[in-house]
Every structure is written in structure tokens, then in C-alpha cells.
Structure 1
Amino acid sequence: MPTPGSMNMLQISSLLTLWSLSAAAQLTLDANPFTTTQGLLAKPTISISQNTATEQMEQVTFYCYTKDANVTIQWFFKDVPLVFHERMQLSTDGKNLTILTVQREDSGIYKCEAQGFLQVHRSDPTFLTVNYGPDAFEIKLESGVSSGEVVEVIEGSTVTLSVDTRSHPPPDYSWFLLNNSLPSSSMRTFTIQAVSKEHEGMYRCLVSNIATHLLRLSALEVRVLEMLTEPHIVSPTLNLVENASSVTLTCQTSHKEAGVLWFLRGQALLPNKHLVLSANNRSLVIHGLRRDDTGPYECEVWNWGSRARSKALRLTISYWPKAMYANLPEPQGQVGVKEMLPPDPLEQFYEKDPPSTASGYYCHGPRKPPPTVALDPLVPTLPKGNTESDYEVLVNPEQNIYCQINPSV
């Protein structure tokens, strides 16, 4: 073996060349680390126990196959990392994914990815289809108004019944009125043109899914309201007398389902103890007639789609006029006068003294009592003319002195 001192130039040149190549190769590896591993991992594949499953009835298992060892398996759902939950199980090596109870939200694209040293490789997509439904639903009626468990529609209008339910694959529909199948009823909607009383009743819709073998049934009662016609008020034919017994007015209409309102003098009638309405408002009872209960009265039938009002009715009520003197004012205080009685001849009662012209009256002394005259206690007989001038005034009761006003003064 040659010693370092004995190596010739050719040998030294060969050693330098080998060292340069080795260093260049190392620098290339450090600059692009994937260059030497490109193509080492094989593309993984997915197998699935079944591509279609029924919701809440089956389970599905995915298997990610790769021929490479020492790789890590990552699962993707709809191209994002899969979020695991309590319905899923994953094997220790990550290659087996099991969905224990399939739900509709599990439908979609699945992929698995093999991750090796400095390299990853993802599989082709595998699609899972989950059949479900139909879900529970209610029948809806367009252009109708709910009244409790019944939907009301107006006679002559066009109505459409429809259902909206989630299902995969799309379900089949069957419509029934009472127990009779309806024509053209394989769609989710059913339309009736110019609805009439013969269309009234209980509607049912049966929805079925051929894949899940599930059936759903719902029902809706439809009531057809007639277009309202004018009602009229029926009153008793007997003569009405003030303060007589009660009187009943009846709003007569052929529309049994219509509501009834009453109006008095053009305003909505407010019931009270004097004006009493029946339970269904069809009758108005007037207790103890008064002379101002003549009206006019009107009744109106209504529903949410139409209304009609009767002609006005006036009552004729007989009553007794008030007493003749009922409105005369009451006398204010007491007047110290007495009514004038028909006198005996003046010479029998009065002294022959001339009247005082200054005072306008004259007085006379004692006289005999005037004769008793029977008077009507209700209507006193008064003399004609100025009544104040005809009254005698008692001036001195002890001496029976009287003064009489002289009407000519």
C-alpha cells in the first residue's frame, strides 16, 4: 500500500473527484428533501360494506387499504377532516371506520389519506347514500282560515291543499276525501276549482317511501262557508205598550255558521239588563218597553269572508200621556190669601163706609160669616178678571176686620 508521500498525482486527483461528487449529492438532498422519496407511497383505496343504507336501521363500515407500512391513516368527509362522534368507531390502525347507526346527515363523499415519511397520498372518493323519511307532516290549505281544528274556505273560491315533508328518495302521495280516493292525487298538492258544499269534509293524505317502507298519514277538516245573503228581523205582531212585558226580536238567516251582530240607531248595540242577547246573538230581548225603544234596529250576519246587514226595523210603542198638570211649576212658599166665595148682597156684610181713595182699598168691621159653598176639591172656581184684585185679605183676625183691594185703583 503506498504511503501518502508515495501517492502519485493520478491517485490524488481521483480522490478529490469522489469527494466532490459526494458533497454535491448531499447539498442537493438538503435543498429538496422530497426529490429522493417521490413515488414511494402507493395510492390508498376505500372499500365500503354498502353504498346505500336506511336511516336508524343499518350500519356501514369503510376500509382504507394501502400496501405501505408505517403510514398514518386520515379520514375526510366532504373534503374536510372527519369529525368523529359517539355513533362512530375507528380501529387502532385507523384503517376501519364504522358508523354504528346511520343518520341522514351521514350521506356524502368519504376519502382516506395515507401519510408516510415526508409524503401523503389520498384515495378516490366513495359516496354513501342514506334513505330516510317521510317525516311527520301536516296538510296545509292555501286561501283558508283556521278555526280550531277546522279550516274554513269561501264558497266559489279556488283552494289548494299541500303537504311538505322531508324524504329520500322522494315519496308517493295519495289523497282521500272521507273514504274516497281523489282524482289526480299523486302530487304533493291538490287543487279544487270553485269549491262548493259538496267539497266539505275530512281530507287525508298518505305519504309513502318505497325505499324505507315507511308510511305517514295526516288529516284536515275543511268547512265551506257560503256567500252570505241579507237577513231580516222578525218582531212580534202584537201591539207594543210602554212598560209591558218583554219583547223579542229575532235575526232570521239561513246561514247557520254565520256570526250575528246587532245595531241600534246605526251604532253597535251594547247589551245590558234592559237589552239582552241570546247565547248565539240570534235574538234580542227588550225587557220592560220604554217609549224611546223604537229603534231603528238592524242585525248583521258575518264570517271572515263576507257579511250582510238587514233592513232597519222601527218599533211602534203606545204609551199614556202624562197628567194634564204634571208639568205645572210648584208654588213658591205660602201666599196669605183665601179663595173668593160667592158673596151675599154687599149690604148684608159690609159697613157703609166710603173706600179710601188713597190706599186703594177699603176696610169694614165685623160681618156675619159667609154662607158655606161646596167646592170642587180638584179644580177651584175662580172669578174672572184680575184674581189678585178679587181676593180679600184678613187684616185683624181678632176683630174680624177685612180689607178688599179696589181693582179700579
Structure 2
Amino acid sequence: MVVTSAEAGLFGRVDSVGVADNRNGHHSIYIEEQVDVSYVDEQAGWRLATALSARLEDRAGGLFQGDIYHLYAEQSFNDGPLSAVKIGRMQRSDALGFYTLDGAQAWGEVSQLGAQKFTLYAGRPGRIDDFYMVEADLLLGAELQWDNRPLHYRFDTIEIESINGRVELQHLRKGASENRISWSINGNGKLHQSSLSDLKLGFGGSYQFGQRQLEELLFSAEARRGRSEYLKLAYQSYSPSSPTLTFREQYYSLYVLGQQQEFAASYRLRPKNSLSWGAKGRLVTRENGLSGLGITGSLSQWQYFGADMSAQLDLLKLGSDNASTLYLEGERPLSALRRLRAALVLQHQQKQLAGDNNAFGFDGELEQMLSSTLYLSVALTHIWNSRLNDEYRYGVRLSYRFDDRKGWQSE
């Protein structure tokens, strides 16, 4: 038996999922097959990849749904300005949202401009599940990135040593044309005469030329002392891209659809490696004029009976509505082959239209390693409400994971 290093091979995972769910307002049971597979040939620079799903749902007459999330071929280059070219269906995330793109993408580096990286792409965008995106028949885009360019600018106690960032131009066509620009610029430096000496400044946003609309704007300033302490101030004007919240987000976020502005200040202290606590204040203003205030206290990375624990207390107020929430989460290995994660939430909610509601929620997952390539997990989420309808989601997943790029082979 000898070890051989495979320069070409197939790797990925195949998941079989069964779910019972009522979070969309009706009870549903479905089974789903999920495939995410890639083939790479490192010597030739090739990569072929696909991710797809097929779902059969228990409804009147049955409901079958299939999706292809990506299906592409990619070729890498060692010489010239191009690093790689990708053709097919791919996934992208940018100022337009999270979406698929049926087309082509190329990226590389221009050494004549100081090793700046560029990305070019073109194709037809498509929606991924419930994520928000700007619909179009054609999307053309170009992005330029630069890393850690020396600056050495100082104003009083603030010194900026280097900057990095990106600028992206996009052209969309669906009947009429639409052009937008998005950017992100970060400065790294020092804050002198302060124990929080490491400084990072951020400025980003996106602008739509046709409507002369500033779609998103972000300012941030962060000062830290290594990994043990940091203070961050931020302002953001944006519209959330996804209506889907995680179990945790639905209880502690001031999340609403539509344009909104958020002012936030956060502080975190990590006095030792196994403990971290923080506080955060947020002021959110919605486009309809309502404002919300959120105060958060958190404690994380502490050990309790071998589990990694975290806790969070939130006090939220939005107009005449308010909520108080306590969230507790823990994760620990039960053995070398078994892992458990569990979360509890308690919430008291007062809403002018819906009235008072007390909620208790549980979210948990148990994963068992059956073999080196086979995993079985059981997950359940249940929220008991005093006034609203209860919500639940129960699921089981069998996952086969494989990688034959490296391995043992008999001779």
C-alpha cells in the first residue's frame, strides 16, 4: 500500500433531506436531493462543477421542483493577464443581491497598474430561492480591486498606513438600460495616544445613475487592541436583500424590508482566551418614518460542561412596538463521532396591532458520523407562542461526502 497524490479527481457531497415545515403559513412535507460536485485537474487547470436540487413536496397532486444553482467549466492560466475564465451558470453576490448568472466571467491581474486585480462578467441573471435581486435580461459588469497600497497619511492622532478597496461598474438591460456603480474603500492604520491603537476605516456604497439614487451607503470606524478589545462605530443606509431570517436573527434583529438607515456602536472585550463579552446599541430609521432602538448585551466563548456557550440579551423598540429577548446557545462534541448544537430563546413581545405574545423557542441539531464519508443529522426548530400560531421545522439529512483528489491506492 503506497500513498499517491491525485492531481485530478472528483469531490463534493450528495445530501438526501426530509423536512416537515409550517413556516410559510401552511403545513408541508417534502423530500429533497441535493448534489454539489466538482471535478478538478490541477495540472491542466480545469475545473467542472455543478450544484443542483430536486424536491418532491406533499401537496394536492404532488409538487416537483428542480433547481440548478451552478453548472460551469473553469480554465485557469499561468501566464498572461488572465488568471481564469468561467463559462456556464455561476453564483454571484454584489450590490444587486445574491443571484445566478448564465454567461461568462474572467478575472486576472494587471501588473502594469501595480498588481491590481480585475473581474469581467456578462450574462443573464436569475433568482436564487427567495433572495432579492434586480431583474434583467442582460448584465455586464467590470470590477477593479487593489490591496494594501501604501499611503502614510497622518492627521493629528490618526495615521492611515495603507488602503485597499474595490470599484464595480454594472450595466443592466430589461427594456430600458440601467447603470450603477458600487465601491468599498478601507484604510488601515494607527490611532496614536490610545490603548486601542489598531485602526480601520471603511467607506462603501452603491449609486444608480438612471434614477440618480444612492442605494446604499456605509461608513465605519473600528479601533482595536489585538484580538482582546475593539470599539466600532458604523452608519449604514440600505435595503435588506433576503426576507429569510435564521432562527437567531428573527429574535434579535431590527430587520424590516425596505430602505432603512442604521446607526450602530459596538464594544467587545476579551479578557482571556475562553471568554468574550460585548455591548451594542442601534438606532434604525425606516423609510415610512418609524424609528427603532436596539440595545444588546452578549457573552460568548465560555465553557460549561465541555460546551462552547454564548448568550445574548436584547431590548428592542420600533415605534409603539417593543420586545425583550434572551437567547442562549451551546455546542459540544458528545464523542469523536457525534456533535450536538442547541439553542433556546425566551421573548416577550408587545405590538399595537397583534397584541402581546410570549414565545419560547428551541433549535437543535445532532450530527453522527457513520463512516469517514457518511454523516447523519437530525434537526428541529419549534417556537411555541401564547397568542400567535406555533411554528416548527423538523428535518433529517443523510450526507455523503467524498474527495478522490488524494488517497490511498493499492499497487
Q: TM-score range by the shorter chain?
A: under 0.3
Higher helix share: 1
Output the TM-score relative to the length of structure 2.
0.14
Output the TM-score relative to the length of structure 1.
0.14
